[in-house]
Amino acid sequence: MGLNLDDKKAVVAEVSAQVATAQTIVVAEYKGIEVVKLTKLRAQARKSGVYLRVLKNTLVRRAVSGSPFESLAAHMSGPLIYGISQDPVAAAKVLNDFAKANDKMVLKAGSYAGKVLDKAGVQELAAIPSREELLAKLLGVMKAPVSGFAVALGALAKQREEASA
């Protein structure tokens, strides 16, 4: 059953709101994937903060019109699932990881920083560590000298105690 005009306007408004705050959009063909697997994909997307929906291409073209993602419209044909994220790599990671495990999911294109990416570009974007991973690594690097200094200070204190005793 098709959408009426009000429903279409609501979908365009919802997608436009997501696009307005997005840094990345990834599109993939999903033909032939079982509902159970798509449900798992949706759960993973929610967990990662990715807006994931199967949408009519014409409605998404309207939603991205006038945005930095407008050039992605040329790749919007066929049965597509759209991943939209504020995190630059989250949408690419979620769809790329799913595509690795499910050969029926085919990455088609993506857009990041106003540039259209092909399948290889989306895979490269997915290989970049997420913001949380980078922050964890930075924290580890910052913590290492402090903990090393604390260990050295403790050893020095122990050495002085032994010397004075």
Q: Parse the chain into domains and list their residue ranges.
A: 5-128, 129-165
Asked which of 53-67, 71-85, 150-164 is least confident by mean pLDDT, the reply is 150-164
Asked which of 99-103, 108-112, 144-148 is least confident by mean pLDDT, the reply is 144-148
Alpha carbon of residue 119 to chain centroid? 15
Task: Specify whether domain 5-128 bears CATH 3.30.70.920.
Answer: no
Cross-strand pairs, 121: none
pLDDT (average), residues 66-89: 91
Element (H, E) at 118: none
pLDDT (average), residues 71-79: 90
Q: How close are the terminal C-alpha atoms of the chain, in Å?
A: 88
pLDDT (average), residues 113-134: 85
**Residue 107 pLDDT exceeds 90:** yes
Q: Which residue has the tokens 């073209």?
A: 61
Local confidence band at 26 (pLDDT 50, 70, 90 cut-offs): very high
Asked which of 33-37, 100-104, 139-143 is least confident by mean pLDDT, the reply is 139-143
pLDDT (average), residues 103-121: 90
The answer to whether 50 touches 94, Cβ cutoff 8 Å, is: yes
61 or 145: whose pLDDT is higher? 61
Q: What tokens does 27 get?
A: 């599109």
pLDDT at 1: 54
Instruction: Give 48's contacts (C-beta < 8 A, 6+ positions apart).
Output: 85, 87, 90, 93, 94
Local confidence band at 157 (pLDDT 50, 70, 90 cut-offs): confident
DSSP classification of residue 86? S
